[in-house]
Copies of this chain bind each other. A is one copy, B any other.
């Protein structure tokens, strides 16, 4: 049993979310991740609530299993250590504003000359090129500008933000993919590449259907609340004790649904085709909900599942953490503290692989500069 990225060393100069998420997923696949943090404060998220035993749960959840060394890259002594690390690392990842690494004397051109094997990954708000490269960005700025907010929310009301920070996270994921492609390429060429991922670009990349619709129809899609814009019924319904989804994607599933609900509508011209059901979606929702309100969510989900109709609850995060399927898949893991005690829960590794361990615990997130001694010893061994 080995993780696929064992032997890969990642020098992680990132902070907050997009970069640390990227290196966390590489770590979950077996890479050794060394966080290079600024002295005194380190990663900003060390100060983010909520805290447990004085430590940030947010930081712990995204930085478990990494080690940490604090380096002041304006001090000569620390630059020597940093350059030793560059010699040993396969990948350097940073999410500074474009230009910061150049000002430190560690821009891509310089690094590539001195360390030709090194792969350099950068994630930033708008990327390292283009008119807005130097602008600051946050998750919500790119969710808004990139279009996803314009299609999220209720029709006729202001758009809403996606509750998960997909502006950061999707960019971190594309960066991880680019870094792995570069590592694979390096096995042939021996040479590193620079990978430059923008949060804004990444938002565009996940819009697919909306782009096709807009370019063919000339009309930008609008938010459609909790229903699919062009399939009916494919939306949320109230049961007596909570919300759940029914996704009856075609006429056959609709007929099965009608039979299960004892609601003989499949021959009714107002509902016989998907086009007709879309026309009369509000009426259909009321007719279905008049029935679903009479029983519990779990009862309806059991009946619909038995009939082969895609369905599921809308779960709050506390419910998600108790979901038997997610528990069976090792998707809820315990982050330990230095004494091996369980402290926080975090998401497991969604990439399940044969012959790779899939542990349900994670080593703690590092204290700031907490691994300096062992890292320096490791450098001296070389």
Contact = CB atoms under 8 A, between A and B. Distances in A.
Interface in A327-372: 328-329, 331-332, 344-356
A196 interface: yes
Range of interface residues on chain A?
Answer: 35 or more
Interface stretch (A58-66, A67-75, A257-265): A58-66
Contact of A126 (B52, B206, B325, B355): B325
Contacts of A136: 308, 310
Copies of the protein in its oligomer = 2
A50 B177 contact: no
A184 B187 contact: yes
Contact of A247 (B21, B141, B344, B346): B141
A346 B187 CA distance: 31
A110 interface: no
A378 interface: no
A242 to B, nearest CB: 10
A2 to B, nearest CB: 8
Contact of A194 (B157, B180, B183, B353): B353
Contact of A57 (B57, B112, B129, B212): B212
B137 A310 contact: yes
Most buried by B among A29, A188, A207, A344: A207
Interface in A169-211: 169-171, 173-178, 180-185, 187-188, 193-198, 200-202, 204-211
A157 B347 CA distance: 27
Contacts of A150: 163, 314-317, 320
A142 interface: yes
Given A220-B319, A329-B129, A352 B197 contact: yes
A57 B208 CA distance: 10
Contacts of A227: 161
25 contacts: A25-B177, A50-B217, A52-B216, A57-B212, A57-B213, A144-B245, A144-B314, A145-B245, A145-B315, A146-B315, A149-B226, A150-B315, A158-B243, A159-B314, A160-B225, A162-B162, A162-B166, A163-B221, A164-B206, A173-B174, A180-B180, A201-B329, A205-B348, A214-B318, A215-B344
